Structure 1
Amino acid sequence: MSIDKRNRLDGDLFRYSVTKNNTIFIDYEGKQVKVLKGKQAEKLLTKIDQAADEKAVQLLLAKVTGNFKRGNERNGKG
């Protein structure tokens, strides 16, 4: 059974950056969607270090951000 049946994680959808005090900022398509601090951040960094490839890292980032994108977001006027 494949987790990524539609190959959505093949691209570079999620990016993350880590500060000196191990705060993680997670971006989705260039927009910040999550900030992790403390034990949550340490746990995620450990999992990222153990990840097999970039697709596994993308899956970890997708899971930690939760189900924030449902398709009904407003794009704004204009």
Structure 2
Amino acid sequence: MTFNAEPFTYRIAKSGDVHISREGRLVVMVRGNAAAKLAAALGNGDESDQQLLARATGNYKRGNERLAGSKRR
């Protein structure tokens, strides 16, 4: 998966929760053990961070976008 820009931003709260935003809007809050693992993996500042954040949001680029626009019969 390639990104032309960096659409996702994140913030780690004092409680350890990871707040993931896209275009200034909160998309998801990751909590607990998943947040600790994500926070430990983040911080490289490169495209791998964007991929981790995209995966953490859940429903992002499943690979079927091309089928959605085609006419299926």
The TM-score, its normalising length taken from structure 1, stands at 0.68
Look up the match of 2:6.
12
Determine whether 1:31 maps to 2:21: no
Q: Secondary structure at the match of 1:10?
A: coil
Q: Which amino acid aligns with 2:28?
A: K
Task: Kindly name which structure, 1 or 2, has the bigger radius of gyration based on alpha carbons.
Answer: 2
Structure 1 unaligned segments of length 5 or more: list them: 72-78
Determine whether 1:55 maps to 2:29: no
- Counterpart-to-counterpart distance in 1, 2:54 and 2:32: 19
Q: Deviations over 1:1-59 (max 9, x none)?
A: xx32xxxx23120000011111111001111110011101001012114x4x4211001
CA-atom RMSD, angstroms?
2.1
The TM-score, its normalising length taken from structure 2, stands at 0.72
CA drift of 1:69 comes to 7.4
Look up the match of 1:67.
59
Give the ranges of 4+ consecutive aligned residues of structure 1 lying more than 4 Å apart after TM superposition: 68-71
